[in-house]
Chain A
Amino acid sequence: MNSSPVTSWEDVGAYFTFADTPGALYLILALAVLACVLTIVQAAKHETEAFKKVEYSD
């Protein structure tokens, strides 16, 4: 996968991966946001299950 936005280092500004491909930036950003959101949702579920184990053991 060729993700480089530059072909030489002359007069270069932004040079991060996919800097010249907005669609790819939006997609990667959306995935990163989704990863954070899903992690929090999963954490909430994990807590609920873990707490039930304690309650059932009483």
Chain B
Amino acid sequence: MEQQIAELTKSGAMLGTIQLEIFYWWCTAIMILIHAGFLAYEMGASRAKNVLASGVKNILAFAFIVPTFFFFGWWIYLAFPNGFIPVEAGNAGLPWAQDMGPNLKDNATGVFWAAFVLFAATTASIFSGAVIERIRVSAFVILAISLGSGAWILAASWGWHPDGWLLTKFGYHDVGCAGLIHVVAGFFALGVLINLGPRIGKFNKDGTTNDLRPHNIPMVLIGLMLIIVGFFGFLGGCAILNPGAQWTNIYGQPMTLSAYAFNTLMCFSGGIIGAWITTRDPFWMMSGALAGIFVAAAGLDIWYPPLAFLLGMVGGAIIKPGNDFLVKMGIDDSVGAVSVHGFAGVLGVMAVGVFAAGYPNPGDAPDTSFVGQLVGVIVMILCGFIPGYVISLLLKSIGILRVPDEVQEVGLDIAEIPSKAYPEAAGYKSGSLVPAE
């Protein structure tokens, strides 16, 4: 009898372990839809002469984030919860550690690492859209790695890790990464855009602007909807499955996936409606859906759903004015990423401080608070803006950041890509050059 109980207990524990593995495996798979979406979105948002160059850039962001996150990204997450001094526990994330590969005694590290890789690649893709049509691919890859496998994951170590100082000292609460991913990526993009400059033809000498329209709005809309689908995998990956016990959020507070279901759908809808009210433009409506999710993301586990809806409406409503403000400042953000991710993310982090203060944290960590969220959002802005600005300034100073203006006029595809996006389209301007090889 005792032996049977022991065997059943062992079998139950293994079942729980495999359940955990399967859950994060499929979260990761669904998250890849985010990248399918960003790919369609960025290509659609480009003009016809730059479609494939934008696609190549986006694909390479994903491709380079995966190995670099293996080389050092996961180690950064585990090693720096206290600030800039690495802790010994980080050694488990070193690329030669026994956990960093097939291991029959560790079912968890691989699937957690994979989920974090997709978070990292999402971060890089957010930045990617802002800089299309004039950034050099090599510079972009360097910046994407710096963001996805560096800046973002350092912020995550501070504000998401159970020992992260933003949690243990300030009670920072950001379960869906409003600050950790969207603020960091949005302000990283802003730092780069300042040095990169606008697309040729965006601004006139008299200070007026030209509307460089996407060449394929339907592709943009489908891409944005794919991103929304992928975010369900993303948000699932932000929850901790505890076999045999209640879900917890990344901070160890109890939660349910039902909470995410209520609030994600409500803020998604609010975002669309908010953007529709202020713009009537489908491009901004679907961007509003994203912004709606980001404004509610930090507290997705705790919102009363109609509050999430209202937060989403605010997010959707502010993104176009936010982008218009940037244009007035001379910033050409090709897809509005700074506003959609950066500005909406700031509101999202602060929404927890305003509407959700006082929730208890595990251990000695302070309760959620306005001050804790304010400190957190300032840290996130700096984590994004400083590396984005400094690294792009360095690349600019050695002349490898921006595509020359005359190449921009001809089109990046004809200059760089040995293929054509629409070879049979009537009126397709192929230029006098043969495609690059």
> Hey, which bits of chain A sit against chain B, CB under 8 A?
9, 12-16, 19, 22, 25-26, 29, 32-33, 36, 40-41, 43-44, 46-47, 50-51, 53-55, 57-58
Contacts and interface: CB of A to CB of B under 8 A. Distances in A.
A47 B96 contact: no
> Size class of B's contact patch?
20 to 34
Given A15-B104, A16-B101, A58-B406, A22 B96 contact: yes
A27 B437 CA distance: 32
Interface of B: 64, 67-68, 71, 95-96, 98-99, 101-106, 136-139, 141-142, 400, 403-404, 406-407, 410, 414-416, 432-433, 436
Contacts of A54: 404, 406-407, 410, 414-415, 433
Given A33-B71, A53-B433, A44 B138 contact: yes
B136 A44 contact: yes
Contacts of A55: 404, 406-407
A33 B334 CA distance: 32
Interface secondary structure of A, over-half rule: helix
A43 B96 contact: no
Contact of A51 (B98, B101, B141, B407): B407
B64 A43 contact: no
Contact of B102 (A15, A29, A43): A15
A29 B71 contact: yes
A8 to B, nearest CB: 12
A26 B376 CA distance: 37
A40 B143 CA distance: 11
Contact of B106 (A13, A29, A50): A13
A23 to B, nearest CB: 10
Contacts of B406: 54-55, 58
6 nearest A-B pairs in the assembled complex, by CB-CB distance = A16-B101, A44-B138, A14-B98, A43-B138, A13-B105, A14-B103
A42 B104 CA distance: 39
Nearest to A53: B433
B96 A14 contact: no
